[in-house]
């Protein structure tokens, strides 16, 4: 039995203590003693006792408070003056005890007040419940089974029964699911599916078909298993009323409040709750909602059957899946995960219990979900798809790239097997290699030299832009379509391979720079400087590569340089001859002049018929001939030769001198005033 809470209020400390002792002596412990009226945030007491000379003033203050207006008040007033009792009654006191008084009289007066207050409270409760039930019934008649009307009815009934929130949960007997039809704390919550077994208070009411009143969820045996969850969701008390109609339970009405109940629901309130639940059941039975829920429940049951069928199919291959180093998930037709092996847990970081029932599409990137859906549909039709890459979200928040393959082994059970392995490192390496390859291709294409590679059979596999420019072929014409021998004159390609395999030309597998000729598309022989090497995999030859520098411009330049050099040599030689001839003529002229002079003297001193006259004439003729030769030597300006005995060549004085004489005559003709010039 709950003891009434009595509050004694008196400004005078002596009056407070005396009155509190009397209240306790009358059997109403504990007594709450105050000097002033309790603040509004406190729970109203069951009765208030006012004592002391300021009792009438304090009573005015109590009655001015809306939360205390219905609380019975017993005033302790002095016998004198005579109007003290009348003042207390006028201020709003329900009864007055005049001092001096006996404890028995005081106790009887207080008990009568409490009984009267209880009767009045019961009457008010009855009126409130009746009014609420009538209003709720009319509202549901107007709104039918619309969620808005049901929600309004729940709000009003929760207020009557003193609960914070309420929900109507429909349930088809035999099903493990319930459906929230309407809820006061979330207007959008309608036809939300709940697992009934997770709510022991619902299970209790459905099993017993009786209402369940839990005034404190923290101490109730019914909610012991979920008390932590209820505490987290701030559920201190709850009440469940079965919605029965025609002997069938169509659902329950669930009321909840944040704080535990200090007093249990009164029998009248319980009856109102039962009547409300019955009224709701009547509306559910006649409405569309229940029919829709039966259909939905049937679908759920069918889905559960299909799920169990898939699980039985999975059991046939479970041992293989668990031993696989690859991740394996089994999906239903909607893409929900029904099985996860240990390797899949390791790859994603998620525990299998957390993955079961979730959609795999939620774990992949947005731009990959459509493709995953296509894969699932294809496998359900019995067609496997090629291996594909997909990014899976992990517990770290990062994605891993996996290579996935499908299997149609369970497609007859409407299940999709997805087997995958982590290829993040491989794909990163591929990306880096692709970048390197692109860079090398750009580098090879940007070089001016021709670079040609061929496999070990001689098929061209690389033909850069430099090769296109030098040889006139396009890469499209050559790569995979031509052999490298087409680029060389007959036999040269085999000769190059022999040199590559010989240690004498730069080492085995390498060829030092050497001059060769290539055959251009036009048939032109293109002189090149080439170097080459063999590409190995281990000890096995797999390809060859050659680098060719076009020498045509270089050879043309070398030829021009050689011609210029030859002309320079000729010029230097002619200059040297001219200088040598001039020096020789000068040196020879002096002795010849002396010889001729002495011959002249001898001839003058000799008789004409002297025996030596003939010899002197011969000497003079030869000396003059030598003088003519010296004169020619002195006039040499060009190096001209003629054949001599034994195939040798000697200086041709006549040609060398005649060119000089011609030059002298030409100069004499052009000189002003010279003989043969203009008159």
With a cut of 80, say whether residue 135 has pLDDT above it: no
Asked whether 55 and 75 are in contact (CB, 8 A), the reply is yes
Q: How confident is the model at residue 534 (pLDDT cuts 50, 70, 90)?
A: very high
User: Which of 94-103, 286-295, 631-640 bottoms out in mean pLDDT, i.e. has the lowest?
Assistant: 286-295
Percent of the chain scoring above 90 in pLDDT: 22
Q: How confident is the model at residue 14 (pLDDT cuts 50, 70, 90)?
A: confident
Q: What is the pLDDT of residues 662-676, one digit of tens each?
A: 545 545 544 554 444
Class of domain 144-296: alpha beta
Q: Specify the residue for token string 């009267």.
A: 116
* Domain 328-428 listed as CATH 3.30.450.20: yes
Q: What's the whole-number mean pLDDT along residues 603-622?
A: 81
User: CB neighbours of 205 closer than 8 A, spacing ≥ 6?
Assistant: 211, 212, 240, 241, 242, 252
Distance of alpha carbon 250 from alpha carbon 284, whole angstroms: 7
Percent of the chain scoring above 70 in pLDDT: 84
With a cut of 60, say whether residue 661 has pLDDT above it: no
SS3 256: strand
Q: What is the pLDDT of residue 192?
A: 73
Max Cα separation, the chain?
215
Distance of alpha carbon 630 from alpha carbon 657, whole angstroms: 10
**What are the boundaries of each domain within the chain?**
6-125, 144-296, 328-428, 461-550, 556-670
With a cut of 80, say whether residue 361 has pLDDT above it: yes
Q: What's the whole-number mean pLDDT along residues 624-643?
A: 77
Distance of alpha carbon 415 from alpha carbon 339, whole angstroms: 10
User: Which of 127-131, 242-246, 432-436 bottoms out in mean pLDDT, i.e. has the lowest?
Assistant: 127-131
With a cut of 60, say whether residue 4 has pLDDT above it: yes
Q: What is the pLDDT of residues 244-289, one digit of tens each?
A: 877 788 889 999 999 999 888 888 888 888 888 887 787 776 555 5
CATH superfamily of 6-125: Response regulator (3.40.50.2300)
Distance of alpha carbon 347 from alpha carbon 401, whole angstroms: 10
Asked whether 596 and 624 are in contact (CB, 8 A), the reply is yes
- What the block records as the tokens of 372 is 């995953």
For the chain, helix, strand, coil in percent to 5 are 50, 20, 30
480 C-beta neighbours (distance < 10 Å), count: 11
Q: What is the pLDDT of residues 319-357, one digit of tens each?
A: 767 778 888 888 887 888 888 888 888 888 888 778 888
CATH fold label, 461-550: Beta-Lactamase (3.30.450)
- What the block records as the tokens of 410 is 């369970």
Q: What is the pLDDT of residues 393-420, one digit of tens each?
A: 888 888 889 999 988 877 766 778 888 9
Q: Where are the alpha helices (DSSP H) in 316-451?
A: 318-323, 342-348, 352-355, 366-380, 424-446
Q: What is the pLDDT of residues 491-529, one digit of tens each?
A: 999 999 999 999 999 899 999 999 999 999 999 999 999
Asked whether the bond before 549 is cis by omega within 30 degrees of 0, the reply is no
Nearest of 401, 404, 468 to residue 428 by alpha carbon: 401
How far out from the chain centre does Cα 472 lie?
47
With a cut of 90, say whether residue 108 has pLDDT above it: no
Asked whether 180 and 171 are in contact (CB, 8 A), the reply is no
Q: What's the whole-number mean pLDDT along residues 616-636?
A: 82
Nearest of 576, 587, 575 to residue 630 by alpha carbon: 587
Nearest of 185, 193, 188 to residue 233 by alpha carbon: 185
Q: What is the pLDDT of residues 201-224, one digit of tens each?
A: 999 998 898 999 999 999 999 999
Average pLDDT, the chain: 82
The Cα-based distances of 93 to 47, 97, 677 in angstroms read: 11, 11, 167
Please indicate whether the domains covering 144-296 and 328-428 agree at the CATH topology level.
yes
User: Which of 96-110, 310-324, 410-424 bottoms out in mean pLDDT, i.e. has the lowest?
Assistant: 310-324
């Amino acid at each position: 039995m709950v003891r009434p809470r009595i509050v004694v209020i008196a400004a005078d400390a002596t009056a407070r203590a005396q009155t509190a002792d009397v209240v306790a002596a009358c059997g109403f412990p504990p007594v709450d003693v105050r000097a002033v009226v309790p603040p509004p945030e406190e729970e109203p007491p069951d009765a208030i006792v006012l004592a002391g000379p300021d009792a009438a003033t304090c009573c005015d203050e109590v009655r001015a408070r809306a939360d205390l207006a219905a609380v019975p008040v017993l005033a302790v007033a002095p016998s004198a003056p005579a109007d003290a009792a009348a003042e207390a009654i006028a201020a709003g006191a329900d009864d007055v005890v005049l001092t001096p008084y006996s404890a028995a009289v005081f106790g009887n007066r207080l008990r009568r007040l409490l009984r009267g207050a209880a009767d009045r409270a019961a009457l008010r409760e009855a009126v409130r419940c009746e009014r609420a039930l009538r209003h709720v019934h009319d509202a549901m008649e107007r709104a039918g089974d619309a969620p808005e009307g049901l929600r309004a009815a729940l709000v009003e009934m929760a207020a009557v029964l003193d609960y914070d929130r309420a929900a109507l949960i429909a349930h088809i007997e035999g099903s493990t699911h319930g459906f929230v039809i309407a809820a006061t704390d979330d207007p959008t919550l309608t036809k939300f599916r709940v697992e009934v077994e997770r709510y022991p208070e619902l299970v209790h009411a459905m099993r017993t078909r009786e209402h369940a009143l839990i005034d404190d969820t923290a101490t109730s045996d019914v909610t012991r298993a979920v008390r932590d969850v209820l505490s987290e969701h701030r559920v201190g008390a709850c009440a469940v009323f079965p919605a029965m109609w025609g002997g069938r339970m169509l659902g329950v009405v669930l009321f909840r409040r944040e704080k535990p109940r200090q007093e249990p629901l009164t029998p009248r309130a319980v009856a109102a709750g039962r009547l409300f639940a019955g009224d709701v059941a009547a509306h559910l039975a006649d409405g569309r909602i229940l029919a829709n829920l039966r259909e939905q429940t049937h679908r759920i049951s069918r889905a559960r059957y299909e799920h169990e069928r898939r699980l039985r199919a999975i059991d046939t291959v479970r041992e293989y899946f668990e031993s696989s180093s690859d991740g394996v998930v089994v999906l239903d037709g909607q893409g929900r995960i029904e099985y996860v092996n240990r390797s899949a847990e390791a790859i994603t970081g998620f525990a299998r219990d957390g993955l079961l029932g979730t959609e795999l599409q939620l774990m992949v990137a947005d731009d990959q979900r459509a493709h995953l859906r296509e894969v699932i549909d294809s496998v359900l039709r019995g067609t496997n798809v090629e291996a594909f890459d997909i990014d899976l979200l992990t517990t770290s928040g990062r994605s891993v790239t996996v290579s996935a393959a499908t299997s149609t082994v369970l497609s007859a059970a409407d299940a999709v097997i997805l087997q995958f392995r982590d290829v993040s490192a491989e794909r990163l390496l591929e990306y880096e290699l692709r970048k390197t390859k692109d860079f090398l291709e750009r580098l090879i294409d940007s070089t001016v030299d021709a670079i040609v590679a061929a496999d070990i059979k001689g098929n061209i596999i690389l033909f850069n832009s430099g090769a296109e420019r030098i040889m006139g072929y396009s890469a499209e014409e050559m790569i995979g379509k031509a052999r490298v021998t087409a680029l060389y004159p007959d036999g040269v390609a085999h000769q190059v391979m022999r040199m590559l395999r010989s240690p004498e030309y730069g080492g085995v597998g390498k060829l030092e720079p050497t001059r060769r000729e290539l055959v251009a598309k036009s048939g032109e022989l293109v002189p090149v400087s080439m170097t080459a090497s063999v590409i190995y995999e281990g000890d096995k030859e797999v390809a060859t590569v050659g680098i060719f520098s076009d020498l045509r411009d270089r050879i043309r330049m070398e030829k021009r340089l050689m011609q210029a050099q030859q002309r320079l040599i000729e010029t230097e030689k002619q200059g040297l001859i001219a200088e040598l001839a001039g020096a020789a003529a000068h040196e020879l002229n002096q002795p010849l002049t002396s010889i001729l002079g002495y011959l002249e003297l001898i001839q003058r001193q000799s008789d004409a018929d002297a025996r030596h006259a003939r010899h002197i004439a011969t000497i003079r003729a030869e000396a003059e001939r030598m003088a003519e030769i010296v004169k020619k030597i002195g006039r040499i300006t060009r190096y001209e030769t003629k054949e001599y005995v034994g195939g040798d060549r000697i200086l041709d004085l006549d040609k060398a001198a005649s060119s000089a004489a011609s030059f002298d005559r030409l100069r004499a003709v052009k000189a002003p005033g010279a003989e043969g010039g203009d008159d």
